[in-house]
């Protein structure tokens, strides 16, 4: 008699999805405590919505809450969008976003290295790299006055002036594309508020910017220059508040996302953070080594915070909120609310385009 062995049925594969924040039944005492906590949070952060909102599974927290906590991640994401838009439109121009700013500044006349670096808000290393690229491509020339051989004065070459029109055309197209998600009334409003924020912090931070750059650029900074400078300001104040914690802004963003969703699939982290897979896995490795992520869940390709991770994330959130509040402190309450809303609209449009 011949027989056969019945193979066990294979369980149907399910696609891992990000869960929405869990809800549980609360007794009246717990509900009252939750209401008190939300009221206290609203007093600490006037931009925090007082009405409970349901966040779709794949929508990051900074797109739901009009809170100061949204400023950091929004600034980072919008800077990436502005730079990516420039790179896509610049084509074979061969000039970086920062290089385009230097070319436009030098179009107004010769400038020595120290002043040029301050106008463009660059540290010494970044300035040497960017100006070196322009020199190697023959777009700028350098001279040294006989009175001071160590002083360097930069000018645009004939080739540099020839490419200037194309640079300005690209910047104008980037601005139109970047602000496409806003109405005609909102576009100048965003530029005005963001410019006010950037210029108010011109003398702050490890990298400072000479506000005279506005006069050289016809009284207007483009989105690429605005977002790059805003990111510098944001990182500087983050470092002041969180520098002792051995955590970077992007790692802070990862902790906040995982804490908000409670569980995040490892494969979804790069998209949520808008980074490549290598960077996302490096972040996970560091947070695991610090004891903030559960190794058991990570082995199952899920990311959850450990008790130590939750405690650290709560302390970190307070510090980040303080840093973002300092960034926005130069604006009125109404301007703060408008800026966060406009930044969310730009981000939403870029992701749906």
Report the distance separating Cα 206 and Cα 215, nearest Å.
23
Q: Is 305 helix (H, G, I), strand (E, B) or coil?
A: strand
Query: Are 288 and 298 spatial neighbours (Cβ–Cβ below 8 Å)?
Result: yes
Instruction: Please give the pLDDT value at position 210.
Output: 92
Query: Are 337 and 290 spatial neighbours (Cβ–Cβ below 8 Å)?
Result: no
pLDDT tens for the chain, 353 residues: list them: 444 444 444 444 444 444 444 444 445 454 445 445 444 444 444 454 433 343 444 677 677 666 677 888 899 999 999 999 999 999 888 899 999 999 999 999 999 999 999 999 999 999 999 999 999 999 999 887 656 667 789 999 999 999 999 999 999 999 999 999 999 999 999 999 999 999 999 887 788 899 999 999 988 899 999 999 999 999 999 999 998 999 999 999 999 989 888 889 989 889 888 889 999 999 999 999 999 999 888 888 899 999 999 999 999 999 999 999 999 999 999 999 999 999 999 999 998 87
Helices (H) then strands (E): counts for the chain? 15, 5
How is residue 69 written in tokens?
């906590």
Report the distance separating Cα 130 and Cα 327, nearest Å.
27
Report the distance separating Cα 83 and Cα 89, nearest Å.
10
> Closest Cα to residue 328, out of 29, 15, 47?
47
How is residue 114 written in tokens?
């120290």
Backbone φ, ψ for residue 144 (5° rounding): -125, 115
**In angstroms, how far is the first alpha carbon of the chain from the final one?**
66
């Amino acid at each position: 008699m011949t027989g056969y062995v019945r193979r066990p049925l294979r369980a149907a594969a399910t696609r891992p999805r990000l869960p929405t924040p869990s809800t549980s039944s609360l007794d009246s005492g717990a509900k009252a405590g939750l209401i008190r906590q939300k009221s206290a949070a609203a007093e600490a952060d006037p931009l925090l919505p007082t009405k409970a909102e349901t966040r779709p599974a794949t929508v990051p927290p900074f797109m739901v809450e009009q809170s100061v906590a949204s400023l950091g991640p929004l600034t980072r994401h919008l800077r990436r969008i502005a730079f990516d838009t420039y790179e896509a439109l610049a084509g074979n121009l061969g000039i970086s976003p920062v290089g385009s700013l230097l070319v436009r500044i030098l179009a107004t006349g010769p400038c020595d290295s120290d002043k040029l670096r301050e106008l463009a808000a660059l540290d010494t290393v970044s300035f040497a790299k960017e100006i070196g690229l322009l020199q190697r491509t023959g777009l700028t020339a350098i001279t040294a006055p006989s009175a001071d051989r160590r002083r360097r004065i930069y000018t645009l070459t004939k080739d540099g002036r020839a490419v200037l029109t194309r640079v300005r055309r690209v910047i104008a197209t980037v601005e139109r594309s970047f602000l496409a998600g806003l109405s005609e009334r909102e576009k100048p409003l965003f530029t005005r508020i963001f410019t006010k924020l950037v210029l108010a912090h011109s003398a702050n931070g490890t990298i400072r910017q000479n506000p005279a750059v506005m006069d050289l650029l016809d009284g207007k900074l483009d989105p690429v220059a605005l977002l790059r400078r805003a990111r510098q300001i944001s990182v500087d104040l983050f470092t002041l508040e969180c520098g002792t914690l051995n955590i970077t802004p992007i790692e802070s963003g990862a902790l906040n996302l995982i804490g908000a969703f409670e569980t995040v699939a490892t494969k979804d982290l790069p998209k949520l953070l808008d980074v490549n897979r290598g960077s996302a896995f490096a972040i996970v490795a560091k947070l695991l080594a610090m004891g903030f992520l559960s190794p058991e869940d990570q082995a199952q390709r899920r990311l959850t915070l450990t008790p130590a991770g939750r405690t650290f994330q709560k302390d970190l959130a307070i510090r980040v909120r303080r840093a973002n509040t300092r960034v926005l402190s130069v604006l009125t309450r109404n301007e703060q609310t408008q800026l966060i809303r406009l930044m969310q609209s730009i981000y939403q449009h870029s992701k749906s385009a």
